[in-house]
Chains A and B, each alone.
Chain A
C-alpha cells in the first residue's frame, strides 16, 4: 500500500459557514487520493458547494485544514490555489456570458498565461468537445445548458489541474446530456485525473466514482467504496429512490 504518500487532496476537521454562529460544515474530513474519483453526495443545502468553495479558497474555513499533496492551501487566495493545481467546474456552470466560447476557454488557462501553452491547449479541448469548435466565436451566455457545461469543463481543463473539482455538473441538464457529462468524467478518470465530484445524482455519480462520502447537514455521515454504498439499503432508500 502507498498509504505513506499524502493524499492528493485532504480536508481535515473543516468548519465553515457564511454567518457567524451558523456553521454549514462541521468537522468535515475528506480525502481524495492520486488518480481517484471521489464523489461527495448530499441533498440540497447539505453543504456540498460550501466544501467546494472552501477548497478553491473562495471561503476561508473557521477551523481545519485543506492540503494539496501534503501542502496546506487553506488561507491562500483563490488565484494562488489554481496555480497549485486545482481547477473547478462551478455549480450552475458560471460561464462568462459576455465572453466568446474561445475566450472562456482561454480564461481557463489564465494561470499559464506566461507561456504559449493556453493557445496550444485549445486544440486538445476542441478535440474533446468538437461541438465547441462551431461555437467558438459565439457568446457563451447564448449557448444551451449542455453546451455551457462543455465550456465550463473545457475551461477547467485548460488550467491543467492536478485535482479537478466538479460541482453538480449534471444539474439542470436533459438525461441524454447527463450521460454525456458522466462519460466525459469517466474518460478523464481513465486518463488518471484526480477528481472530486459533488453530486445530487447519486446513482450516476456512484457509477463513475471509486469512493464516496455522504454529507448530511454539514457532517459526513457515510463513506466507503462506491460499490458498497450503491448496495447499501439506507443509501438506496434515501439517495437512489429505490428500496
Chain B
C-alpha cells in the first residue's frame, strides 16, 4: 500500500541527488576537481527561488526555477573566476583545491544564513501543500515538476553536449585542453562555462527539492549523498550520476522504511561502499559517457 508512495518518493529524491551529482561529475570532468561547494550552490539556488517567489507573488513555479538557474550560473561563473582559477593557475595540489571548495561551501552557507536567517523558510506557493493523486495515492504536487524538469534537463544537456559547438568544445577541452586550444577553444573559458552550467543544474535541484524538504542555510548536507551518487555511477559520467542518484534515493527510502528512517544517511553510504567494493571505479566506468 505504501509501496507506491515510497517508490515515488525514492525516485523524486533520487532525481534531486542525481541533479546535484551531475554537477559534481561535470566539474570533475572539466577540471579534474571535486567541487564540494556544489551542494551549497544548490542551497543558494533554493534560496534564489525563494527570493523570486517572495518578490513576485504568484509567479509561475517554472519561472522561479529558470530564474534561480540563471542566478546560480552567474554565481558559479564568478566563483570559478575569482576563487578557483587563481589556485588552479598556480598549480595548487588537489588537496588544497578540495579544501578550497569546502571553504567556498562554508562561505556560501554562512552568507545564506546572513541574508535569509538561520530558520528554515517555506516557499510561499501553493505547491508546498498541494497533492496530486496517482492511482489513488496522494503525492506531493511538486513531483510532477520533478518528473518534467529532470528529463527535460537531461535531454537538453545531451543535445547541448552533442549538437552545439559550445558543448562539443567543452567536451574536447575536458579531454585535452592544450589540443583543444590549438583548434580555437579557450580552455579557461570552457571551465568557467562548465562551472556555470553545473551551478545552474544544482540550482534547479534546489528549487525542486524545496517544496518537499525545507530551505535552510544547512540544506547542503545532502551534498555528501549526491557525491556518493556521483561516485556510485562513476565520477565524471552524467548518465552515471543519474543512475547513482536513483540508486541512492531509492535505496535510502526503502532501506529507511525497512530499518528506521534515522539510518537513511548510513544506508546511502552503505550502498556506496558496497557498490565500490564490487566495482571500485563505479557502475558506468568504461561505458560511453
Least distance between B185 CB and chain A CB atoms (Å): 6
- Encoded as 1 (CB less than 8 Å from any A CB) or 0, chain B from 185 to 229 comes to 110000000000000000000000000000000000000000000
Are B175 and A99 in contact (CB-based, < 8 A)? yes
Are B182 and A99 in contact (CB-based, < 8 A)? no
Are B183 and A159 in contact (CB-based, < 8 A)? yes
Quick check: is B283 within 8 A (CB to CB) of the other chain?
no
Quick check: is A184 within 8 A (CB to CB) of the other chain?
no
Are B184 and A83 in contact (CB-based, < 8 A)? yes
Are B172 and A88 in contact (CB-based, < 8 A)? no
Least distance between B29 CB and chain A CB atoms (Å): 9
* Chain B contacts for A77, CB-based, 8 A: 181, 186
Question: What is the CA–CA distance of A94 and B184 in the complex, to the nearest angstrom?
Answer: 15
Are A113 and B181 in contact (CB-based, < 8 A)? no
Q: Beyond A96-B172, A98-B289, is A108–B183 a contact (Cβ under 8 Å)? A: yes
Q: At the interface, is chain B mostly helix, strand, loop or mixed?
A: helix
Chain A residue nearest in CB terms to B166: A113
* Chain B contacts for A208, CB-based, 8 A: none
* Chain B contacts for A139, CB-based, 8 A: 288
Quick check: is A154 within 8 A (CB to CB) of the other chain?
no
Least distance between B285 CB and chain A CB atoms (Å): 13
What size tier do the contact residues of chain A reach?
20 to 34
Question: What is the CA–CA distance of A103 and B180 in the complex, to the nearest angstrom?
Answer: 12
Q: Which of B174, B175, B182, B288 has the most CB of A within 10 A?
A: B182
Contacting B at CB under 8 A, from A49-93, are: 56-58, 77-79, 81-83, 87-88, 90
Quick check: is B169 within 8 A (CB to CB) of the other chain?
yes
Question: What is the CA–CA distance of A123 and B162 in the complex, to the nearest angstrom?
Answer: 19
Quick check: is B168 within 8 A (CB to CB) of the other chain?
yes
Are B169 and A79 in contact (CB-based, < 8 A)? no
Are B175 and A96 in contact (CB-based, < 8 A)? yes
Quick check: is B179 within 8 A (CB to CB) of the other chain?
yes
Are B182 and A107 in contact (CB-based, < 8 A)? no
Quick check: is A45 within 8 A (CB to CB) of the other chain?
no
Question: What is the CA–CA distance of A139 and B286 in the complex, to the nearest angstrom?
Answer: 12
* Chain B contacts for A103, CB-based, 8 A: 162, 168, 171-172
Least distance between B175 CB and chain A CB atoms (Å): 4
Quick check: is A111 within 8 A (CB to CB) of the other chain?
yes
Partner of B175, one of A82, A98, A113: A98
Contacting B at CB under 8 A, from A20-58, are: 56-58
Quick check: is B165 within 8 A (CB to CB) of the other chain?
yes
* Chain B contacts for A97, CB-based, 8 A: 175
Quick check: is A106 within 8 A (CB to CB) of the other chain?
yes
Quick check: is A110 within 8 A (CB to CB) of the other chain?
yes
Question: What is the CA–CA distance of A77 and B288 in the complex, to the nearest angstrom?
Answer: 32
* Chain A contacts for B162, CB-based, 8 A: 103
Are A107 and B172 in contact (CB-based, < 8 A)? yes
Quick check: is B176 within 8 A (CB to CB) of the other chain?
yes
Question: What is the CA–CA distance of A97 and B184 in the complex, to the nearest angstrom?
Answer: 18
Are A110 and B184 in contact (CB-based, < 8 A)? yes
Least distance between A20 CB and chain B CB atoms (Å): 15
Q: Beyond A58-B178, A96-B176, A110-B165, is A82–B171 a contact (Cβ under 8 Å)? A: no
* Chain B contacts for A108, CB-based, 8 A: 183
Question: What is the CA–CA distance of A139 and B175 in the complex, to the nearest angstrom?
Answer: 12
Are A78 and B182 in contact (CB-based, < 8 A)? yes
Are B185 and A110 in contact (CB-based, < 8 A)? yes
Q: Beyond A110-B165, A113-B165, is A99–B172 a contact (Cβ under 8 Å)? A: yes
Partner of A58, one of B174, B175, B181: B181
Chain A residue nearest in CB terms to B189: A79
Are B182 and A82 in contact (CB-based, < 8 A)? yes
Are B183 and A99 in contact (CB-based, < 8 A)? no
Question: What is the CA–CA distance of A98 and B286 in the complex, to the nearest angstrom?
Answer: 10
* Chain B contacts for A90, CB-based, 8 A: 178-179, 182
Least distance between A74 CB and chain B CB atoms (Å): 15
Question: What would 22 A/B residue contacts be, using CB atoms closer than 8 Å?
Answer: A56-B182, A57-B182, A58-B178, A58-B182, A77-B181, A82-B184, A83-B184, A87-B182, A90-B179, A94-B178, A94-B179, A96-B172, A96-B176, A98-B171, A99-B175, A103-B172, A107-B169, A107-B185, A111-B183, A111-B184, A113-B184, A159-B183
The residues of A with any CB-CB pair to B shorter than 8 Å are: 56-58, 77-79, 81-83, 87-88, 90, 94, 96-99, 103, 106-108, 110-111, 113, 139, 155, 159
Which 7 residue pairs across A and B have the least CB separation, nearest first? A111-B184, A78-B181, A96-B175, A94-B179, A113-B165, A110-B184, A110-B183
